[in-house]
Structure 1
Amino acid sequence: MASKRDRDVFEISGPLYLSDVNWKSVHHRRVVAASLVQGVYVLERDRVKNRQGSEALAPPWWEFFHFQLLHQLVDNPCIVGAVYEYKPASDCKNSTEGAPRCVIAFRGTITKGYALVQDLKLDLLFIKNRLHPTPRFEIAMQAVRNIVAAYGDLNVWLAGHSLGSAMSMFAGKNMAKSGIFLEAYLFNPPYFSAPIENIKDEEMKHIIRTAKSVIKAGITVATIGRQERTTWEDQFLLLSPWVPNIFVNPGDYICAEYIGYFEHRKTMEEIGAGGIERLATQYTLGGLFLTAIGRQAEEPLHLLPSANLTVNLSQSLDFKQAHGRYLGFKQWYLGFKQAHGIHQWFSPDVTHLQSKLHQWSNTDDGYI
């Protein structure tokens, strides 16, 4: 396993194999977006370790793909994001069709130093659906608005990992509500829920998910007025044309539930319960509980009508080894870090990716 420093060094850990980017390739776009997010992580570690000039490790993560760093997005005093501008060489022979003009990328939680304190606060606020009043989200939203105004919505990408994915997703949802649908690459976005996806018995998973959907739909009808429910559903439908690219690993508790979140809709359609699921999928049990006791529930940040979901089946984590013994904590933790890490999304070892488009429709024919 590469050392922590080596993982920051592009020449050691970066996707050197992608010297010629085909911007029409979904694989190539994923690798570039993930590399730019990694560049934000390394920018922050360069700042902390005071690596400047020729000692800085971050620049190759964007310069290799002919991007320039336009702005660092700073949250007192940590670097949490970056705005990159695509600047191919004047004699570039490769087609740039499909390339973005700008990419706005956000890192996730850093597990050391002062950044950890700040990031954990935001992680907790995400669970409460309270990212929107934070300075970091205001910084992110202002950057997105400014870049879209300058470059146009068809030329701007959003990208993020973990907490950074939540930031990008929320910014993308806000823009989508105003009719601007930005291309987005969201790696290991957090989905706060019981880890049903890790249950191995498929029938048991289906029973639990179906019961959960019926309960949510029942509470929704019982506690939320028809007019308020219609307004909420109209907002959800308004987001449906936005189809972000979501990348998850089944071995990552933080994001794995997106697999079941989308797949269960299709299953419920197949058994004739699509109407129940279309209602249930727009709400969380926590939010419905708050409504039931008379408190204001915030909009769930992680719920989406549509997405292009890519699952990494190359490195999924199993709790048991082949001989049946449980993994030790250290092995489990290393496996989890690998399943949640950004490196998997630009690694040449990722050979088994499964992608599926989930497009929302609020009709009886419903969910595609």
Structure 2
Amino acid sequence: MSIEREIFSSSGPFHLQNIDWSNAIHRRSVAASLVQGAYNLEHDRKGSSHSQAPPWWEFFGFQLHEVLVDDDDGSYFGAIYESKYYNQYSHCNPPRYVIAFRGTLTTPENRKQDLILDFQFIRHNLHKCSRFDRALQAVLSIVATTCPGNVWLAGHSLGSAIALIVGRKMVSMNKSYLETYLFNPPFDSPPIERIKHEKIKDGIRIASSFLIAGLASMVHQHQEKTEEMNDDSFGTLCEWVPYLFLNRSDPISCEYIGYFAHREKMVQIGAGKIGQTATQNSVVSVVSDAIGKDYEAVHLIPSAYLTINLSHVSDIKQAHGIQQWWRPDIHCDFKFYRYK
């Protein structure tokens, strides 16, 4: 049985009767709706009495091109949508394709596999799972048929982590900079951003930066790596600027707010070099590197457009939910960060 927020006729963005594809708010709402469509595809697969998924893409002029299936449990974890109205000669165009990934579901049929992948994210090896491999192959196949500028990636929660890793891989493999929408992407760190006392919050972050930079320096010296080599690897991503959609009340994603703001603060206090090293590493990735494990901190990125929802939410579930991002009445703050 579908709940009301999953039914387009009850909670969908009907205000988007005429979509302006140059409008960032419209693009955000469409991308979030297509992610909801991916969620509903999995709900429908499990036996919903009425198919609730199609309106979430048909309303915006898309058709379902392909469903992405997890090899391990057979669940639907994503979808590829194709625009019915794409025109290669138009300057104000919908994307030709959107690849959208759902997040974690806690229903009995999905709980085990999704929680395993959540744990793999925490261990920094989500890029080793079959779901990522399937997603990457699907994106490579689509990009092979069209210009990368015609393709969007989108995801929510765990799905945004998948989209993030795929986006990073496309940059490193063939310099494809895909427009990417990451809704409530998980950040592998305690949610320091939720601490109300600014001095305590800053103190924790500064201490953490010095710790991570010190560990990274020792490991790289031991392995005869140079800081410049590490910086070049991270810096190749700086031209790729994904859109991150965050809520300060969401403990899963809010630390991205502090991650980017702290990098600028380290420059202000004269510790830019330390902050730069800490930006590229986590404790887990540094320790793993020291013991020869391939655990990459894929959630760390150099550049981003941040949209921060400042509107009141009733609980953490609402703060982390995808539904907030197609609402027209939310109050947001916007930040742009580019890595130097």
TM value normalised by structure 2: 0.94
Q: Give distance in 1, aligned partners of 2:86 and 2:31.
A: 19
CA drift of 1:265 comes to 0.8
SS at match of 1:15: coil
User: Are 1:102 and 2:104 counterparts?
Assistant: no
Q: Give distance in 1, aligned partners of 2:33 and 2:288.
A: 40
State which of 316, 319, 322 in structure 2 corresponds to 1:336.
316
How many residue pairs align between the two structures?
Answer: 333
Structure 1 gap ranges (5+)? 317-333, 362-368
Q: Give distance in 1, aligned partners of 2:48 and 2:11.
A: 21
Q: Is the 8 A contact 1:288 1:297 kept in 2?
A: no
Which residue identity does 1:11 align to in structure 2?
S
Match of 1:319 in 2: none
SS at match of 1:227: coil
SS at match of 2:217: helix
Which residue identity does 1:304 align to in structure 2?
I
CA drift of 1:139 comes to 0.8
User: Are 1:58 and 2:61 counterparts?
Assistant: no
Which residue identity does 2:191 align to in structure 1?
P
Q: Is the 8 A contact 1:66 1:89 kept in 2?
A: no
User: Are 1:159 and 2:154 counterparts?
Assistant: yes
CA drift of 1:50 comes to 4.3
Q: Give distance in 2, aligned partners of 1:210 and 1:250.
A: 20
SS at match of 1:150: coil
User: Are 1:303 and 2:300 counterparts?
Assistant: yes
Match of 2:69 in 1: 74
CA drift of 1:221 comes to 1.4
Q: Give distance in 2, aligned partners of 1:298 and 1:130.
A: 5
User: Are 1:115 and 2:115 counterparts?
Assistant: no
RMSD: 1.7
Q: Give the alignment of 1:209-358 within 5 angstroms.
A: 209-225=205-221, 227=225, 229-292=227-290, 294-315=291-312, 335-350=315-330, 352-358=331-337
TM value normalised by structure 1: 0.87
Q: Give distance in 1, aligned partners of 2:55 and 2:312.
A: 26
State which of 180, 187, 192 in structure 2 corresponds to 1:191.
187
CA drift of 1:6 comes to 1.4
Q: Give distance in 2, aligned partners of 1:192 and 1:205.
A: 17
Q: Identity, % of aligned pairs?
A: 47
148-157 or 220-229: which moved more? 220-229
SS at match of 1:239: coil
Match of 1:9 in 2: 7
CA drift of 1:288 comes to 2.0
SS at match of 2:77: strand
CA drift of 1:297 comes to 4.5
CA drift of 1:228 comes to 5.1
CA drift of 1:35 comes to 0.2
Q: Which has the larger radius of gyration?
A: 1
